[in-house]
Amino acid sequence: MRGELTVYQNTNTMRKAVYPGTFDPVTYGHLDVIRRGSKIFDELIVAVGHNPLKAHIFSVEERLEMITTYTKNIPNVKVDSFEGMLIDYMEKEQTNVILRGIRTVSDFEYEFQRALTNRVLKNDIETVFVMTSEQYSFLNSSLIKEAASLGGSVSAFVPAEVEKRLKEKLLAKRGK
């Protein structure tokens, strides 16, 4: 019939995606994207990247531990880390799908550029964008770190244990 789209599902293929990020710290916005992505894909790998150009509050191991704690009840989520190019990690994991959360129009512009760059680097890379839930649309790890460093409560943005650890790290950094 004209105008209708028929979608055929290939039941022999498992859809696996990688949700990359620094997750420093992991926020409720990240966890929202993870939960929602886990419903879209058969397997979702939350991949903690090491970006040598960024100063991190938490070590890769600490970020892996925190994400694992908050995703342990989602059976199709795997938490891992990588160094180097994301596309190399994806090749190792045998997937070509990247999951990204979008909060704002400026996020879309930035992520669109990244998606196109990844596709130029490896032409079969596909990026799937998930709109962040409204209540998390303004969350930003930098703002959370800034608020916590000034003594503000960030309990509305991160789980209680993450807030506690974040404040401990920031106090230690200030030498108190």
Decide: helix, strand or coil at residue 18.
strand
User: In the chain, how many domains are there?
Assistant: 1
Task: State both tokens at 61.
Answer: 């191991």
> Longest C-alpha distance within the chain, in Å?
70
Question: Residue 142's Cα: distance from chain center in Å?
Answer: 15
154 found inside a domain: no
4 found inside a domain: no
79 found inside a domain: yes
Report the pLDDT value the prediction gives residue 112, as an integer from 0 to 100: 85
Q: Please check whether residue 132 is in contact with residue 33, taking contact to mean a CB–CB distance below 8 angstroms.
A: yes
Question: Among 48, 46, 73, which Cα is nearest to 63's?
Answer: 48
28 found inside a domain: yes
Does residue 8 have a pLDDT over 70?
A: no
Confirm whether pTM is higher than 0.75.
yes
HEC per residue, 103-172:
CCHHHHHHHHHHHHHHHHHCCCCEEEEEECCHHHCCCCHHHHHHHHHCCCCCCCCCCHHHHHHHHHHHHH
For residue 78, what are the domain limits? Answer: 16-134
Interval 135-171: pLDDT, tens: 888 878 888 999 998 889 999 999 999 999 999 998 8
Does residue 97 have a pLDDT over 80?
A: yes
| Catalytic positions | 30, 54, 103, 141
Q: What is the CATH number of the domain that holds 44?
A: 3.40.50.620
